[in-house]
Amino acid sequence: MRRVVLLVAVLALALPAFAWAQGKADFSGTWKYDKSEPAGYRGTGGGWAVPAPTFVMRQTGTDITVESDTYGKPMKMVYKLDGSDTITEAQGESQSGVAAVVRWRTKSRWDGNKLVLYTWNTALNQMRDTMTLSGTQLTIARVTENPGGSTTTKLIYNK
């Protein structure tokens, strides 16, 4: 009887952890842009939040890395999966075309099996991407906020 009680106690502790680990999606892969809703969405001003035609995501147990050439130059953003901030510096251009260093702050959190990525830059722009997987399709519900207002769109990518 003691063995049965011990087995039940071990399973009661192990199964929730196993279920939690199983619920986290793996977003790793090369993603190719398919479409957006509303159709023709190209982001808001100056290249901020323009959907990349192709990007690569690499996910480990501690972080997720997104690499693209959205801004005409290779760009790499790291999001720690523990919810802590990451600061990245990248070359950019001001609206007048002058070269400038842009600081990006990134953060992530899990919402069930969805991954929410937050990205801020020094121009006070914020982007929130809520990512969901369905087979080989990635859906990104994107909210972009900047001093001129906000935009909401849905981006569809395929592997």
| pLDDT tens profile 3-21 | 433 333 434 444 344 333 4
Three-state DSSP string of 123-151: CCCEEEEEEEEECCEEEEEEEEEECCEEE
Query: Which CATH number does the domain 26-158 belong to among 2.40.50.140, 3.30.460.10, 2.40.128.20, 3.40.190.10?
Result: 2.40.128.20
- How does DSSP classify residue 69? -
CA 2 – CA 7 distance, rounded (Å) = 9
Q: Residue ranges of the chain with pLDDT lower than 70?
A: 1-23, 39-49, 70-72, 90-98
- pTM for the full predicted model: 0.75
20: phi then psi, degrees, rounded to nearest 5: -65, -45
| pLDDT tens profile 102-125 | 788 999 999 999 999 999 987 778
